[in-house]
């Protein structure tokens, strides 16, 4: 079952991402602050609507309420189809290439991320080899434009060149850091770098 409104979907996505990043759920006040809402009661109404649709549950603990995202039970042998959108450089940035081929991926590789939020890219180069991301591998990418410092991201440079690196922010600059001792990180103005997705897993072709 899906959220009834766009705002409910946004709140559910925010709670899911928050739990993935921090290991615990956000408070109503944190959710309200994130969405620029002054009243926690407004957030409570959205939470109640999500709960009624079976997408969230609230569990009481020491007089307080905690949120729990409902995760569908998926068989261990389940698979899903993801679009293979092209290549991404684990080396010198290259122009993005759109292949748009579907690939079959074991569902468990995506963790709690829904398949519709994930796409695949073929890795080119060895700048992330210390993370065991090798040339020819298939990177599974969550379609997200926000990233924490230290996450492996697909970064689009100058709107055209895509690369897979760890991202760190330094004031008005962004550092794209490889995982290869032979290569140096690259710093660029933040305005030149767009996050296109977050690395979530890896599929290594057998042939």
Give tens-digit pLDDT for 147-157.
Answer: 888 999 999 99
Burial 41-64, CB ≥16 within 10 A → b, else e: eebeebbebbeeeebbebeeeeee
- Alpha-helix runs per DSSP H in 23-139: 28-34, 40-52
User: Cβ of 130: how many Cβ atoms within 10 Å?
Assistant: 13
- pLDDT for the residue 75: 63
Q: What is the DSSP letter of 10?
A: H
Residue 191 CA, distance from chain mean position: 21
- pLDDT for the residue 59: 64
In angstroms, rounded to a whole number, what is the distance separating the alpha carbons of residues 49 and 26? 17
- pLDDT for the residue 111: 72
Reported as a single tens digit per residue, the pLDDT across 62-112 is 434 456 665 555 565 688 888 888 778 775 554 444 556 688 888 877 777
24-to-96, 116, 200, 201 alpha-carbon distances in Å = 36, 24, 19, 22
Beta bridge partners of residue 177, listed in sequence order: 166
* Selected residue with higher pLDDT from 115 and 174: 174
Closest by CA to 15, choosing from 4, 3, 184, is 3
Domains annotated on the chain, with CATH: 6-69 (1.10.10.10), 79-203 (2.10.109.10)
Mean predicted lDDT score pLDDT of the chain = 81
Active site residues: 127, 165
Reported as a single tens digit per residue, the pLDDT across 23-39 is 677 888 888 888 888 88
Closest by CA to 15, choosing from 67, 91, 81, 61, is 67
Verdict on whether the full-model pTM lies above 0.85:
no
């Amino acid at each position: 079952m899906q959220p009834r409104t766009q705002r409910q979907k946004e709140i559910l996505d925010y709670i899911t991402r928050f739990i993935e990043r921090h290991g615990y759920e956000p408070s109503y006040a944190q959710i309200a602050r994130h969405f620029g809402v002054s009243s926690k009661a407004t957030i409570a109404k959205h939470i109640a609507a999500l709960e009624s649709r079976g997408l969230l549950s609230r569990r009481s603990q020491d007089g307080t309420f905690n949120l729990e995202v409902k995760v569908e039970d998926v068989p261990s042998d389940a698979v899903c189809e993801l679009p293979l959108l092209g290549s991404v450089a684990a080396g010198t940035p290259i122009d993005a290439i759109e292949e748009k081929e579907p690939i079959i991926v074991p569902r468990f590789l995506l963790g709690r991320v829904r398949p519709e939020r994930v796409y695949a890219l073929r890795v080119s180069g060895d700048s992330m080899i210390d993370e065991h991301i090798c040339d020819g591998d298939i990177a599974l990418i969550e379609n997200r434009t926000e990233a924490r410092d230290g996450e492996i991201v697909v970064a689009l440079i100058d709107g055209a060149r895509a690369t897979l690196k760890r991202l760190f922010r330094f004031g008005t600059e962004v550092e794209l850091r490889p995982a290869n001792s032979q290569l140096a990180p690259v710093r660029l103005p933040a305005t030149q770098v767009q996050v296109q997705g977050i690395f979530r897993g890896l599929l290594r072709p057998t042939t």
